[in-house]
Structure 1
């Protein structure tokens, strides 16, 4: 077979051509077209004209103009910033007027309190499962929030949309059956409009196929024709021979080859480690050549060098060999060891020239380092056997220019690669969140994979599609969306260094030939030189844009999925820093965890949901015009109280709402004043005095008069009351909180969500250690992974260990402070300073107290009476 035979081209013939049907006229953004094809052709031409201007927008993807145009279905979906978003917003605003006339929405609609209930939704939904992605929120969970915060016709936005579940949820709010299944009281059935954008081209493409107009029958017909065409031409690649008869290969198992550390001979891992009769995989085994005990831990991989016709140079990859074939013959499945027929077939395929096919070089990164280091892989085509790569190229050439067909193709990209792991039960899969290639992998038959995916894609159909629009945009610059035009935002942004999206998406995006521009990717990534500081800056810019496009008085819901206290604090600080007011933190249980969530001992079972609102125009205007900022402060607090939940249930009891405590209310006020650049008009004592004069206090919480009545009524109906939770704004408070929580032993994953909910920002200059550090220093972990309070006898031992650690850390502070050009230390642990000052005082080392005291933040020293007491005494004795 020559390179000409397998060169990528569109090989449609007369048999493949669709039957021509005269379509109905199409109206799009006020323009009438004779067909969808005509609409698509017109707007693609318009998009091409706009590309030079659009390329100036942050986040414009990396790709050729033709590839971007061919991937797009404008104006509904563009594989670049969508220039028609404001046109859709204008059209939808006009639609709202008609809905109001029909009595389907209210002009003065207002949501006063947040959706405060914890949410639990499974992932086993056809829409959720059709195409893999790094993270997703089940759309029924998002529907609950949209139904609470919006009314029919409202515009919902998600700037980190991933696979577009927010758009799906917005549209399914118009499905009576789907809404009723949620059993949400007072839910208004009616379609909401979605605007979904993401930095990732593959994410936006998946979002488009889940949200835009879709005819399942036409899709099935086109997909089946493609498979018939390619199978006719390349089906011989998946044939084997059994008892002299041709059989169809379902999959082939490949094995790494290793080198014995003793004799240096090659060992095929499959031959020695896998026992199919006993259904076991051995961790260690004797070398078949010398008898030395071998395992993957003490063996090195074998490597082989060959000529790569696609790269036009020799390459060195880890050596893999085919070992087992699963086949179908006369309708029955069977399995056999690889024989000479299979070897000859693979050699024939290996000799095919690929010089006319394209590939992408792997970017340097955190996840990409693994296949580069472990397997020698430098380009995306090397993730596939040559057979699968040739087959995939043939199919891709027939799927271009049609988003739904392209996504059907990309849905099997991961499972058709070398990343698909062999398991004894044959239920393989890839390791999510990685680019890991296992030592035993399964090479699947492409046609069989795609056949099974036809039904999966068909099952994503639902009524009310075509009410969302999709774009590639960086959330840091939403320049194609006008100010104050969005009614509600639900978003699931990247959190810290959890997932390296652009790296993990590079395999998909190499096929669609439009790649993420990761300059504005909001992650923590050493390779991209993005620390927590850069991440915070990017998130701050994103939330600033969210604040700009959201209407005043409207709501923002953010899903948070990260165990890091520093990331949690940075998110809350960023939100408040741009003007949002945080009112509630609840839990979202997605039921089925990712690989990391399932396998690590520090896994967190639940994500958290942060709810906040943009202050009303009335409050913003009062702040700008009022000269009496103290009076205006209480107006701000009144609006905040109105937005807070009155009552939270915990089982059959009612639980206190910590956001109603005077400390939290004062923190929210200070954050808003600082963000706006206003002088703080009162101290905490004066604030609490005015709070008590103007509002009603119940159980340590403050309410408006009407809210206090509602609270009392609901409290009477509950069997018990859970008092105000301990705040966690310092290490000492965290320890006390854990002592109370661990009266009954709990795992880390049980504790962590509640810990995050009850955290407050620590004092400036203080560092709150991570939960795990505090647990390890102060509590006991049993064999089952449960943490508990230490026994009295063991508590003393733990205290000694902890004190030694703290003194070691204090001495580091002292060492740093003693340097000739030492500056003030911005981040120190308050508990360490307290302990260090106490020990130095005992030892009469007053100079150490003064030296460290002079080099920590002055506010931290002045505001902590323990530190200040030791420092003043030490200063008088130096």
Structure 2
């Protein structure tokens, strides 16, 4: 679901879907139990816990996080907001409004500038977009001489009140990693036009003059919810010409940006659809009881929330084994630089009088990867481990920790899992959840951006005592366990697999090691890779561009290739609906977990083959539906041809109900029950009866045909391989001609190549079969050789052929006419 208004008052990064978080809290806790989030972010976990009647501990090192959490959760009389807004309006609106007065180019009356469009390289705006109260319309114009003179006057005036002039750099002079990297815009004040800086200074000063501490905080909350929208970091969007937004997770000033009316932004921050009034009305109604604790012990009485600005590295204010559930969203490596990005808000909140709640030096303990802070991956991993050791200590035995994160970097993924396991937790399950609303990245890449989150469940074991240490182990035995787990992963995937996908099998590898007492041996990806390398050319081979595979696949009986199983799910989804990329990923990730989870890129390749993009969604290609109809037609043709060739006909069980020439295909089937020489009842029922079409004589299969319009053909080969060699069966794949290149690559894969060569598979194209059927329609009998003549050996690229005779000549020269 989309976020409710309580979670939309203030911008924050990577906010998790409230309903998903709430479901986890409901599942793992009871009313009155304590839920901890040590990386609370915008407070979703804490707020939803309160709504559900639980008690919450909201911890974050970032002061803006705990401030947002408190402002969202804390009850507020809406009349107090209205009263404070009227007071600020009386003192500040006219002073700010006169900065944005222009003349309507239609009626000549005063109008209110809503936004100005600037180019970074120019000293004057390119366009003014305004609202004319006389015309009662929004209009636009080029700046007039008077407009430019007003800007000149503002540019030389002093800002009337305090403004933050914090440099976007660290104490040692290094520029923020996510800074502007523009010399002229190296401080916060340089992120704004002079007009907006003047307006913001007036507005913030009038908020500071409010007497009530709580109301003043809420008005500052509204101020920081819009201050970034008044900056130069808001690109001009043709589709939203009057709307500004912070486009990237950095201090990026686009080449063409908006200067938005500060008072209009503040009014919207109070009264707008995502404003303070509607947001607090929502939270007031949802949270029935709120009493803030000053220390953890007060939660044992009538307090129900503790909000603390502190590091997750030290939870010494929380007793051992005292928390019932932990749900948290830790930092994703260096994906989002929270300290740097929060500086914009914190510098204003700290204010002229340096409010100690909003310090600007907490970056020293931030868990991140940032070369400007001299923090590398090892720093990130070690600090993460310490944090999860503390989380482990405070969680009750037998209770659960859910870690959620959004990062496709396998190194970060594995770092988080290792940090949690080494803290003492047991890994239990990994699932995928798509987002309720597409991110900016997804909107830029609507047909192929993986934009959801992973949720990983861990459990604190009962009876655990003492410090976690990796015991002395029999390394050879542990490697054997990892080796067997890798084999199982490859068998389950049924196809060559890259290391990154093998590492998704952490749950399997870890659980197998844990069973044998080797709790931590397999948590290091390098060890898993080492086992693969040690068994290269013994158990495994590495196929360039594909990944690791069995040296001798037939020894292991791998399952149907994962790619083909995924393909079936994609087709099923597309048959049911026009779907977004994430709708499709959700269907896939519900079925394929851990090591079987396919990469988004592989899913995208399947979509390119079977669907077409349309209005940010994927729609099944009409050609696929046509080929589905042709599937039944081809089986019907082959059945009639087979009868003329003197064979009895068997049609696959699933296909018998399909319609051919107005009748079910079952009408062409000569058997009610199939019985074959040297073939067990089980093999017939499970495999042979599922083959699309068989030509049979004297209880032996002379010809076997699989009619395919997708690339998922491994199952077809497996079915046909159950026909005994003593039948001397000729085997054919019947496909649309445009599928030949795909089929060639399939037939030459490590999984199928040996079987294809041994069993002598050939191709027949739909076009050639249709032409053959048409030319032999009036014949009473047909020689079996004639069907062989139109078959081909698959090639990756075929010269264009125009007649059936030229095909036959080519086939003859290739020796395909031998019986």
TM-score normalised per structure 2: 0.56
User: Deviations 1:764-791 (Å, cap 9, x if unpaired)?
Assistant: xxxx9x9478889999868858999596
Which among 259, 264, 269 is matched to residue 453 of structure 1?
Answer: 269
- Give the CA deviation at 1:378: 0.4
Higher relative contact order (CA 8 A, sep 6+): 1
Counterpart of 2:2 in structure 1 is 122
- The verdict on how the C-alpha distance between 1:418 and 1:481 changes in structure 2, with shifts beyond 3 A counting, is same
- Give the CA deviation at 1:338: 1.4
Counterpart of 1:343 in structure 2 is 148
RMSD of equivalent CA atoms: 4.3
Q: Does 1:429 align with 2:245?
A: yes
User: Deviations 1:440-489 (Å, cap 9, x if unpaired)?
Assistant: 32222211211122132122332323432322122222233222221111
Counterpart of 2:806 in structure 1 is none
Distance 2:148 2:8 in 1: 36
Distance 1:429 1:215 in 2: 29
Distance 2:124 2:560 in 1: 52
User: Deviations 1:336-386 (Å, cap 9, x if unpaired)?
Assistant: 321122112111111112496431111269995676335731011111111
Distance 1:477 1:799 in 2: 58
Distance 1:385 1:471 in 2: 36
Distance 1:458 1:440 in 2: 32
User: Deviations 1:304-360 (Å, cap 9, x if unpaired)?
Assistant: xxxxxxxxxxxxxx6452422313324723423211221121111111124964311
Contact kept, 8 Å, 1:384 with 1:417, in 2: the verdict is yes
Q: Does 1:759 align with 2:597?
A: no
Counterpart of 1:578 in structure 2 is 423
- Give the CA deviation at 1:740: 3.1
Q: Does 1:406 align with 2:220?
A: yes
Which among 298, 301, 307 is matched to residue 470 of structure 1?
Answer: 307
Counterpart of 1:857 in structure 2 is none
Contact kept, 8 Å, 1:238 with 1:249, in 2: the verdict is yes
**1:163-242 map, 5 Å:** 163-173=42-52, 191-242=53-104
Distance 1:554 1:421 in 2: 47
- The verdict on how the C-alpha distance between 1:795 and 1:729 changes in structure 2, with shifts beyond 3 A counting, is closer
- The verdict on how the C-alpha distance between 1:674 and 1:609 changes in structure 2, with shifts beyond 3 A counting, is closer
Contact kept, 8 Å, 2:119 with 2:256, in 1: the verdict is yes
- Give the CA deviation at 1:557: 1.3
Q: Does 1:740 align with 2:536?
A: no
- Give the CA deviation at 1:389: 1.0
- Give the CA deviation at 1:793: 3.7
Contact kept, 8 Å, 1:158 with 1:195, in 2: the verdict is yes
- The verdict on how the C-alpha distance between 1:670 and 1:774 changes in structure 2, with shifts beyond 3 A counting, is farther
Counterpart of 1:613 in structure 2 is 459
Distance 1:217 1:433 in 2: 35
Distance 1:223 1:671 in 2: 64
Distance 1:194 1:522 in 2: 23
Contact kept, 8 Å, 1:134 with 1:432, in 2: the verdict is no
- The verdict on how the C-alpha distance between 1:661 and 1:797 changes in structure 2, with shifts beyond 3 A counting, is closer
TM-score normalised per structure 1: 0.52
Counterpart of 2:20 in structure 1 is 141
Q: Does 1:323 align with 2:127?
A: yes
Distance 1:792 1:168 in 2: 57
Contact kept, 8 Å, 1:161 with 1:491, in 2: the verdict is yes
Contact kept, 8 Å, 2:322 with 2:394, in 1: the verdict is yes
User: Deviations 1:405-458 (Å, cap 9, x if unpaired)?
Assistant: 211110101211112222234244331423332333222221121112213212
Q: Secondary structure at the match of 1:122?
A: coil
Counterpart of 1:332 in structure 2 is 136
Counterpart of 1:379 in structure 2 is 187
- The verdict on how the C-alpha distance between 1:532 and 1:415 changes in structure 2, with shifts beyond 3 A counting, is same
- Give the CA deviation at 1:670: 5.3
131-140 or 792-801, which deviates more: 792-801
- The verdict on how the C-alpha distance between 1:540 and 1:397 changes in structure 2, with shifts beyond 3 A counting, is same
- Give the CA deviation at 1:545: 1.2
Q: In structure 2, list runs of 5 or more residues that go unmatched.
A: 292-303, 351-357, 470-503, 524-545, 551-557, 572-579, 621-709, 713-738, 751-819
Counterpart of 2:433 in structure 1 is 588
197-206 or 377-386, which deviates more: 197-206
Contact kept, 8 Å, 2:448 with 2:604, in 1: the verdict is no
- The verdict on how the C-alpha distance between 1:798 and 1:760 changes in structure 2, with shifts beyond 3 A counting, is closer
Q: Does 1:501 align with 2:338?
A: yes
- Give the CA deviation at 1:757: 6.8
- Give the CA deviation at 1:613: 1.5
- Give the CA deviation at 1:671: 7.2
- The verdict on how the C-alpha distance between 1:213 and 1:740 changes in structure 2, with shifts beyond 3 A counting, is same
Distance 2:248 2:61 in 1: 20
Counterpart of 1:556 in structure 2 is 401
Q: In structure 1, list runs of 5 or more residues that go unmatched.
A: 1-120, 174-190, 258-301, 303-317, 625-657, 678-727, 762-767, 803-878
Counterpart of 2:796 in structure 1 is none
**1:238-387 map, 5 Å:** 238-242=100-104, 247-256=110-119, 302=121, 319-330=123-134, 332-335=136-139, 336-354=141-159, 357-363=163-169, 372-373=180-181, 376-387=184-195
Distance 1:622 1:520 in 2: 24
**1:661-680 map, 5 Å:** 665-669=511-515, 673-674=519-520
Q: Secondary structure at the match of 2:81?
A: helix
- The verdict on how the C-alpha distance between 1:349 and 1:671 changes in structure 2, with shifts beyond 3 A counting, is farther
- The verdict on how the C-alpha distance between 1:234 and 1:745 changes in structure 2, with shifts beyond 3 A counting, is closer
Counterpart of 1:151 in structure 2 is 30
User: Deviations 1:493-547 (Å, cap 9, x if unpaired)?
Assistant: 2222332222222222221233362233233334334443332222211111110
Distance 1:614 1:735 in 2: 36
Q: Secondary structure at the match of 2:180?
A: helix
Distance 1:556 1:438 in 2: 41
Aligned residue pairs total 515
- The verdict on how the C-alpha distance between 1:209 and 1:449 changes in structure 2, with shifts beyond 3 A counting, is same
Distance 1:481 1:356 in 2: 39
Contact kept, 8 Å, 2:323 with 2:395, in 1: the verdict is yes
- The verdict on how the C-alpha distance between 1:319 and 1:730 changes in structure 2, with shifts beyond 3 A counting, is farther
